[in-house]
Amino acid sequence: MIDFITSVFDLLFSLADFLLHYDYSRPIPLLKAIAVYISIPLVLGIIYSVYKSNQIFVAMHVFDEPKGAPPEKNKNQEDWDKILAGGKSENENDRKQAVIGADSLIDKILGMAGYSGENLGEKLKNIEPADLDSLDALWEAHKVRNRIAHEADYALPKEDSGKALSLFEKALKELEYI
């Protein structure tokens, strides 16, 4: 067994001696030529892949701009302007509908953003204050909505509806809806 280990070490030492004292200047030109002949087809393959990928992207219309479709932000602004118009109405029921509509809109947007909860109150509870700067404003506006929904004799002054809608608007801007 010791003879086997000795022969293994001798083999390793002779291999190390060969690698350390070998004249590497002779095979270098051959290795360079082999590297060039291997690199050329690889570079051509990369160029071909990029060309074909570009053709696929063009066929899929990846680089095309949308044609004729109005930007969604304009539609969002139009929807929000309708809610604001209701909030400025002399009719108290219109103002209440505007606040409820804004609350529903925020509920929908937060749901699309991935916040869980059956209603806006639960979604707001699941939001970390660091995630949404206007969280306190949303709570305040949502409380106005809850008073409208749960207190039958609640009279909504024009100022309160304006304040609630401005708080909702702050959140909508932060969420980049408008």
Does the pLDDT of residue 163 top 70, yes or no? Answer: yes
The verdict on 77 and 148 lying in the same domain is yes
- Specify if 9 maps to a domain: yes
The verdict on 78 and 160 lying in the same domain is yes
pLDDT band at 23 (very low <50, low <70, confident <90, very high): confident
CA atoms of 122 and 134, how far apart (whole Å): 16
pLDDT tens track for 50-105:
999 988 888 877 666 655 445 566 788 888 999 999 999 999 999 999 999 999 99
- Specify if 67 maps to a domain: no
Total structural domains within the chain: 2
CA atoms of 18 and 164, how far apart (whole Å): 85
The verdict on 41 and 110 lying in the same domain is no
Checking 168-173 for CB contacts under 8 A at 24+ apart, the result is 168/99, 168/102, 168/103, 168/105, 168/106, 168/138, 168/141, 169/80, 169/84, 170/134, 170/137, 171/106, 171/132, 171/134, 171/137, 171/138, 171/141, 172/80, 172/105, 172/106, 172/109
The verdict on 45 and 126 lying in the same domain is no
The verdict on 131 and 45 lying in the same domain is no
Name residue, tokens 């290795």.
Answer: 31
Which structural domain, as residue segments, surrounds residue 46? 2-59
CA atoms of 105 and 78, how far apart (whole Å): 13
Q: Contact 99/165 with Cβ under 8 angstroms? A: yes
